Structure 1
Amino acid sequence: MSGKYATETLDVDEGGIARAAQILRDDGLVAVPTETVYGLAARADSDAAVARIYRAKGRPSFNPLIVHVASLEQARSLAEISPEAEQLAARYWPGPLTLVLPRRRNAGLSAAVTAGLDTLALRMPSHPAMRLLLESTGLPIAAPSANRSGFISPTSPAHVLASLDGRIDAVLDGGECERGLESTIAAVRADGSVEVLRPGPIALEAGGSSGERIEAPGQLASHYAPGKPVRLDATQVAPDDFMIGFGSVQGDCTLSARGDLAEAAARLYACLHEGARSDKPRIAIAPIPERGIGIAINDRLRRAATPAD
């Protein structure tokens, strides 16, 4: 498949899941809801399918993909899972935690999935639509966020179609994503230590990333960009600002009027999308507390505010 073609919208029901599963088996691309954001799914064992992800997103080839699995048994067939990794999986899977682990040489995955690394990023999602798709296909599924590379992550079918309509085969319409912020990514090292490569909904007691190399998605300095200058920690709005508020700081779009960080995480990308569509040339964002999931929100905002090279 190549070029532009009609993007189907599928319901999350027996027929929609069956259609999506067949598209994936045929090396196609389907945007699928997860508990975090919409993922752009393709079978991870096919060079042709994975190449289509990179083409559709315009994604740099050195940026690896997360592979989604249906079970811990399937994960063990793809990566070497240490006792420390087993403990994390037992506590947080299924859920918004991605583990970066040593890849098995006989994993049978497309080399492009790992971007040439000896490690593999694995996640077991909890969203029923993605779980049904994993079980229906029996395949490991690569699924980065379903948007053009570097831009705002999608939390609704409309967000997906805004940048990928005509570039992918289908969207499974599961409505709005619950958490609205990508998974926490943690690397489990050979000595059993855990290093957080990307903060997210799950807060881990672990060391931070050294940032010396790209090992997982979301580590690029400039990412999640709305295509306009972004000003952080803004308490006052200028006439040409689209203001994203939080708590007592009101805005054109408000993350959480009551200062709830979980609500702010769920609404973050929706507000950035609204700001990107507005006629205001700049986006200003109210201060977000650097605690709990606020750490992950500020991580995304700093990357959104960093100009691309």
Structure 2
Amino acid sequence: MTRVLAYSDESIAEAARLIAAGQPVAVPTETVYGLAGDATSDASVAAIYAAKGRPSFNPLIVHVRDLAHARTLAVFDADAEKLAAAHWPGPLTLVLPVRGDAGLAKAVTAGLPTVAIRVPAHRAMQSLLAATGKPLAAPSANASGGISPTRAEHVLRSLGGRIPMAIDDGATSGGIESTIVAVGDGQVRLLRPGPVVIDDAVANSKAKIEAPGQLAAHYAPAKRLRIDAQTANVDEWHIGFGSIPGDATLSATGSLSEAASRLFDMLHQADTQHRPRIAIAPVPDTGIGMAINDRLRRAAVGSGGRA
């Protein structure tokens, strides 16, 4: 049974106790709910992978309280320092060379010479980092490949009975996972689009997995998803956007930030409807719309739909 406790000093203390005992706990961040465990403990990281059914070649993002802590885990060059100063705390993950004395569990980096790291802005994750005194590995709190959770009930739908506890602090504000960039050799490469748009980032040129969220099939609903759908077929539940109302909408006003915050919640809602398939209206591929479409393309592939 998975207990759900409202955010409080007491629930944070209980979550810290469970993490110290090697058990992962679901906790909200400003992006999505994460499944947090001690990033320095092989057993804790293994428990995260087991609960999610996550492939071992897919690395984890490590969350830390501040830039000073991040510097003890990764090597920062001038570009990384500039990005951290501009966007932390916040939804930007930096992939940097891991320090030899970082003390991280090997599975966190999936054997890579780099570590994905960020400083979250959400009060619950920051409180948990303070209570544990540890860097926390925290992928999204859902079964691997499924829809990311933006509410505690989404966590229960996916991981109920597989983890001991979830902290409920309402819906997440961002609704979509962090931007991920790799920094090094005088270059900033975009590995995963997200809420933070880095204008001078170049497109990722490497086919191998370097960071979370790069699998071709990911974020998928249980039902088949069709994207860029101006209209819906009779067996499809239609998620609208802007002038296309649908059965429910990402944003009636065409706001991309609202669409991002509602994306995964809408996919969860669509999965519970009586119609066997899902269709979603086109979303402009600009700004954060690039991140929305990145998630939708991977979700469509994962569901067996047409990307």
TM-score range, shorter chain: over 0.9
Give me the whole-angstrom Cα distance separating, in 2, the residues matched to 1:308 and 1:259: 26
Per the TM alignment, residue 307 of structure 1 is displaced from its structure 2 partner at its CA by: 4.0
Give me the whole-angstrom Cα distance separating, in 1, the residues matched to 2:78 and 2:161: 44
Q: Any conservation in 2 of the 1:17–1:133 contact (CA below 8 Å)?
A: yes
Give me the whole-angstrom Cα distance separating, in 2, the residues matched to 1:211 and 1:102: 16
Against the structure 1 CA distance between its residues 308 and 255, is the aligned structure 2 distance closer, same or farther, given a 3 Å change threshold? closer
2:194 to 179, 189, 200: 200
Residue 240 of structure 2 is matched in structure 1 by 245
Per the TM alignment, residue 308 of structure 1 is displaced from its structure 2 partner at its CA by: 6.7
Residue 49 of structure 1 is matched in structure 2 by 44
Residue 113 of structure 1 is matched in structure 2 by 108
Number of positions where the alignment pairs a residue of Structure 1 with one of Structure 2: 303
Residue 97 of structure 2 is matched in structure 1 by 102
Per the TM alignment, residue 211 of structure 1 is displaced from its structure 2 partner at its CA by: 4.2
Residue 59 of structure 1 is matched in structure 2 by 54
Q: Any conservation in 2 of the 1:211–1:219 contact (CA below 8 Å)?
A: no
The amino acid of 2:207's aligned partner reads E
The amino acid of 1:47's aligned partner reads D
What is the percent sequence identity of the aligned residues? 59
1:153 to 148, 157, 162: 148
- TM-score scaled by structure 2? 0.97
Residue-by-residue CA offset, 1:236-258 (whole Å, 9 max, x unaligned):
11100010000111112210011
The amino acid of 2:189's aligned partner reads E
Give me the whole-angstrom Cα distance separating, in 2, the residues matched to 1:211 and 1:277: 37
Deviating runs (4+, > 2 A) in structure 1? none
1:265 to 260, 279, 293: 260
Residue-by-residue CA offset, 1:211-238 (whole Å, 9 max, x unaligned):
4110111100000000222111111111
Residue 291 of structure 1 is matched in structure 2 by 286
SS in 2 for 1:250: strand
SS in 2 for 1:221: coil
Residue 3 of structure 1 is matched in structure 2 by none
SS in 1 for 2:167: strand
The amino acid of 1:214's aligned partner reads I
Give me the whole-angstrom Cα distance separating, in 2, the residues matched to 1:82 and 1:178: 30
Paired residues for 1:159-308 under 5 Å? 159-189=154-184, 191-205=185-199, 206-307=201-302
Give me the whole-angstrom Cα distance separating, in 2, the residues matched to 1:230 and 1:9: 30
Q: Any conservation in 1 of the 2:222–2:303 contact (CA below 8 Å)?
A: no
Matched, 1:83 2:88: no
Give me the whole-angstrom Cα distance separating, in 2, the residues matched to 1:23 and 1:11: 16
Against the structure 1 CA distance between its residues 184 and 129, is the aligned structure 2 distance closer, same or farther, given a 3 Å change threshold? same
The amino acid of 1:233's aligned partner reads D
Residue-by-residue CA offset, 1:53-98 (whole Å, 9 max, x unaligned):
1110010000000000001111111111111101000000000000
Residue-by-residue CA offset, 1:19-52 (whole Å, 9 max, x unaligned):
1111111111110000000000000011111001
Per the TM alignment, residue 14 of structure 1 is displaced from its structure 2 partner at its CA by: 1.1
Residue-by-residue CA offset, 1:132-156 (whole Å, 9 max, x unaligned):
1101111000000000000000000
The amino acid of 2:11's aligned partner reads G
**Structure 2 residue runs without a partner (length 5+):** none
Give me the whole-angstrom Cα distance separating, in 1, the residues matched to 2:32 and 2:250: 16
The amino acid of 2:77's aligned partner reads S
The amino acid of 2:301's aligned partner reads T
Q: Any conservation in 1 of the 2:145–2:302 contact (CA below 8 Å)?
A: no
Against the structure 1 CA distance between its residues 278 and 308, is the aligned structure 2 distance closer, same or farther, given a 3 Å change threshold? closer
